[in-house]
Structure 1
Amino acid sequence: MVNFEIARKRMVQEQIMARGITSPRLIEVLMKIPRHLFVQEAMAAQAYSDGPLPIGEKQTISQPFMVALMTDLLELTPRDHVLEIGTGSGYQTAILASLVRRVWTIERIRPLAMQARKVLDSLHLLNVNIKVGDGTLGWEEEAPFDAILVTAGAPAVPETLARQLAPGGRLVIPVGSESTQTLLRIRKEADGSLTREAGIDCRFVPLIGQQGWHAPQ
Structure 2
Amino acid sequence: MDRVRDAFAAIPRDGFLPPEERTYAGFDQPLPIGRGQTNSQPRTVADMLHLLEVRPGDEVLDVGSGSGWTTALLAHLTGPEGSVVGVELEPSLVRFGRHNLAATGQPWARIEKARNGVLGWPKKAPYDRILVSAEAEAMPRELVEQLAAPGQMVIPVAGMMMLVERSATGQARLSSHGWYRFVPLRRKA
TM-score, with structure 1 as normaliser: 0.82
Structure with higher Rg: it is 1
Percent of counterpart pairs with the same letter? 39
Rounded to whole Å, the distance in 2 between the matches of 1:140 and 1:90 is 20
Question: What's the offset of the Cα at 1:172?
Answer: 0.4
- Give ranges in structure 1 of 5+ residues lacking alignment: 1-22
Q: How many residues align?
A: 185
Q: Which runs of 4+ in 1 moved over 6 A?
A: none
1:1-217 matched pairs, under 5 angstroms = 24-100=2-78, 101-134=82-115, 137-176=119-158, 181-209=159-187
Once residues 54 and 187 of structure 2 are traced to their aligned partners in structure 1, the CA distance between those partners, rounded to angstroms, is 27
Alpha-carbon distance in structure 2 between the residues aligned to 1:140 and 1:45? 37
Bigger drift between 106-115 and 133-142 goes to 133-142
Superposed displacement of residue 136, structure 1: 5.0
- Give the whole-Å Cα distance in 1 for the aligned partners of 2:68 and 2:101: 7
Aligned-residue Cα RMSD (Å) equals: 1.4
Greater RCO (Cα-Cα under 8 Å, separation 6 or more): 2
Distance verdict in 2 for CA 1:183–1:53, change over 3 Å: same
CA contact (8 A) 1:153 1:205 kept: yes
Kept after mapping to 1: 8 A contact 2:114/2:120: no
